[in-house]
């Protein structure tokens, strides 16, 4: 009875009224009583120290709302109030993401306030303070532990002790579209990343993939579009569409057609088996030190076997080129559950 009624509400009424009526219905349903004690809004991650951002790379604050919440707004540093935004595929309701450019942030202390409302006068307020720095740091290894502070671009991540080793993964139950964890602040030039990965679970009837983003440049999109839809990256991962592991350079502006350079090698992946990967992104320059192109090379092999001697290469010699700029390093999980071991990172 309730589900057909909610369906009619969804089809015929304005968005704000739909959310209010649905929240009222959930409020009186006895099997949803646990929702009445949950916070109306919560943030998945609240790092205190936020490193430098630049270009299209934003500081993201993901979270979720209760099914009872019919209104949620935020204010950063006493600027005008804005509505909290959800939007598939990145953040289907009730999940959301707040995205701030470097120009939105103050060097030093920042204060974010979120206020949520539910029926019968119930309210919830979050005040989150963080410190933003424009200092250019150096990439460092990520040796996971229980107290690791995670720099999340998309999704809900955690560290977990698995078989006596601390590893990092999306929180089980929060798998889905492009879960991205940052491993460094943006920096220019080449980089080398080494780790191991274990695929635990695949979302049925979905494309899936997982791996390393040696270069992550954020989500290019016209200002004011939220959640942002584009991407700019180099990528080394396993992708079931091509039934193998491979490398990509890619850019998409907003919802436009994406540009790609790709190279894949057919291979099977076994669930619960550990695989090692080493990737190097080289910044190729001419005799006058002018940037020519990026060259990506990698090795991917079962961790219980010997490391292969040969590298797999991808460059952008022909056609579209990944633009020269500062890029962060990241991890990505797409419609699957994967955990990653220690990350060994250095310039090259």
Residue 318: the pLDDT is 64
Domain 39-132 CATH superfamily: Immunoglobulins (2.60.40.10)
CB burial string 77-87: b at 16+ within 10 A, e below: eeeeeeebbbb
Encoding tokens for residue 3?
A: 């589900």
pLDDT at 18 over 80: no
Predicted confidence (pLDDT) at residue 35 exceeds the cutoff of 90: no
pLDDT for 100 equals 97
Question: Which residue spans of the chain are classified as CATH 2.60.120.560?
Answer: 151-347
Flag whether pLDDT at 231 surpasses 70: yes
- State residue 31's pLDDT score: 44
CB 275 within 8 A of CB 237: no
Question: What is the average per-residue pLDDT within 138-143?
Answer: 96
The predicted pLDDT at position 61 comes to 98
Two structure tokens written together for 348: 């090259």
The average confidence (pLDDT) of the chain is: 92
**pLDDT confidence band for 224 (50 / 70 / 90):** confident
CB atoms within 10 A of CB 145: 9
Q: Report the top-level CATH class of 151-347.
A: mainly beta
CB-neighbour burial class of residue 97 (10 A; exposed 0-12, middle 13-18, buried 19+) = buried
Per-residue pLDDT band for 1 (boundaries 50, 70, 90) equals very low
Q: Encoding tokens for residue 170?
A: 């999306």
> Would you say residue 102 has pLDDT above 70?
yes
Residue-level pLDDT at 218: 97
Calpha distance 170→180 (Å, rounded): 9
Taking a C-beta distance cutoff of 8 angstroms, is the pair 85, 93 a contact?
no
Q: How far is C-alpha 139 from the geometric centre of its chain's CA atoms?
A: 19
| Mean pLDDT within 177-203 | 97
Integer Cα distance of 20 and 33 in angstroms: 17
CA distance 113 to 96: 15
Q: Where in the chain is the domain with CATH 2.60.40.10?
A: 39-132
Residue scoring higher pLDDT (28 or 236): 236
In 233-287, where does DSSP find H-type helix? Answer: none
Percent of the chain clearing pLDDT 90 (strictly above): 85
27 pLDDT higher than 70: no
Q: How far apart are CA 84 and CA 216, in angstroms?
A: 25
Q: Is the pLDDT of residue 30 over 50?
A: no
> H/E element holding 328?
strand 328-334
Region 192-205 average pLDDT: 96
**204: pLDDT strictly greater than 60:** yes
pLDDT tens-digit profile of 162-188? 999 999 999 999 999 999 999 999 999
> Average pLDDT, stretch 284-304?
96
Whether residue 8 is predicted with pLDDT greater than 90 in this model: the reply is: no
Which pair of tokens denotes residue 241? 């569409």
Burial, 135: exposed, middle or buried (Cβ in 10 Å; 0-12, 13-18, 19+)? Answer: exposed
Q: Which DSSP category does 125 fall into?
A: E
pLDDT of 223:
83
Mean of pLDDT values over 81-102? 95
Averaged pLDDT, 58-67: 96
């Amino acid at each position: 009875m309730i589900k057909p009624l909610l369906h009619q509400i969804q089809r015929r009424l304005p968005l704000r009224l739909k959310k209010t009526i649905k929240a009222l219905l959930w409020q009186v349903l006895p099997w949803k009583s646990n929702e009445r004690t949950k916070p109306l809004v919560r943030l998945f991650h609240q790092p205190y120290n936020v490193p430098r951002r630049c270009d299209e790379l934003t500081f993201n604050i993901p979270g979720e709302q209760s099914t009872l919440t019919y209104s949620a707004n935020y204010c950063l540093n006493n600027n005008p109030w804005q509505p909290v935004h959800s939007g598939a595929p990145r953040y289907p309701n009730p999940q959301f993401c707040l995205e701030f450019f470097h120009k939105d942030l103050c060097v030093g202390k920042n204060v974010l306030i979120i206020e949520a409302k539910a029926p019968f006068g119930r309210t919830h307020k979050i005040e989150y303070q963080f410190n933003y720095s424009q200092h250019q740091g150096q990439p460092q290894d990520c040796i996971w532990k229980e107290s690791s502070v995670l720099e999340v671009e998309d999704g809900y991540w955690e560290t977990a002790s698995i078989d006596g080793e601390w590893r990092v993964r999306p929180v089980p139950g929060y798998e889905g579209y492009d879960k991205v964890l940052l491993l460094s602040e943006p920096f220019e030039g080449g980089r080398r990343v080494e780790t191991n990965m274990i695929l635990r679970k695949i979302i049925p009837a979905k494309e899936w993939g997982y791996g390393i983003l040696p270069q992550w440049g954020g989500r290019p999109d016209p200002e004011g579009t939220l959640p942002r839809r584009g991407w700019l990256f180099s990528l080394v991962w396993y992708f079931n569409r091509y039934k193998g592991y491979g490398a990509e350079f890619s850019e998409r502006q907003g919802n436009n057609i994406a540009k790609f350079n790709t190279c894949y090698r057919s291979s099977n992946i076994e669930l619960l088996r550990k695989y090692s990967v080493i990737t190097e992104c080289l910044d190729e320059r001419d005799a006058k030190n002018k940037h020519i192109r990026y060259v990506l090379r990698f090795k991917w092999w079962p961790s219980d076997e010997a490391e292969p001697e040969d590298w797999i290469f991808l460059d952008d010699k022909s056609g579209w080129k990944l633009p020269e700029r500062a890029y962060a390093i990241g991890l990505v999980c797409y419609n699957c559950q994967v955990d990653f071991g220690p990350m060994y990172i250095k310039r090259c």
